[in-house]
Amino acid sequence: MKSTILFDVDGTLIDTEKTIIKSFQKTLSDTYGIKPTAEELFYILGIPGTKAVERYVHSEAESQKLLADWNENDHAMFHYATVFDGIEQALERLHQRNIKLGIVTSRTDTEMQVVKDNFDIDKYFDIFITASKTKLHKPNPDPILKAMETLNLSPQDTMYVGDSIYDFQCAKNAGIEFGLASWGAKENPEFAKVDYHLETPLDLTKLV
């Protein structure tokens, strides 16, 4: 039984795929006049923005400009995003049972603030570890380890819930169990090895 659950954000708590893809498409079109398909941009889901833009930029200044424009477009298109069905009910039940809840995300502080501004879910969480908080990011274990150190958590009592292979690898590298958010995940043969296949968010209440 777990006493602490850490969550990814995009594809796990919030359905932001359309927002992320459309905002990056607009950014690339406005900046470079190119229009990649949604499928060509699936690689950006679940990784920090700095990694996502690498194949399109040639300098740090260019990277920062593209990221700033993307963030602006993401904010403007955030009306496409929705909280997954069952998330708020699951968070409320976990909170009532005094389960510690945290967020470990590839979003930066600024990008996470967009989520907080649009959805009333941050009240449930004890900690927010964003890409701004660590030098290394998923699948490196540092983000999860940072959360565990801050909250004084033991690996045995902690699990991570996410939708991407990077989330799974981050959890394994940190030595904790992983629950796959099937409602937001894309098929990957590696997911046969996950500790828990969660069909709905309320499945989490069975693990605490």
- Of the candidates 193, 189, 194, the one whose C-alpha atom is nearest the C-alpha of residue 162 is 194
Asked if 8 is an active-site residue, the reply is yes
Burial string for 5-23 (b: 16+ CB within 10 Å, else e) reads bbbbbbbbbbbbbebbbbb
The pair of structure tokens assigned to 2 is 């777990």
Among residues 8, 69, 74, 167, the one annotated as catalytic is 8
> In angstroms, rounded to a whole number, what is the distance separating the alpha carbons of residues 176 and 144?
9
The helix, strand and coil proportions of the chain, stated in percent and rounded to the nearest 5, come to: 50, 15, 35
Pick left, alpha or beta for residue 33 (phi over 0 → left; psi -120 to 50 → alpha; otherwise beta): left
Catalytic positions: 8
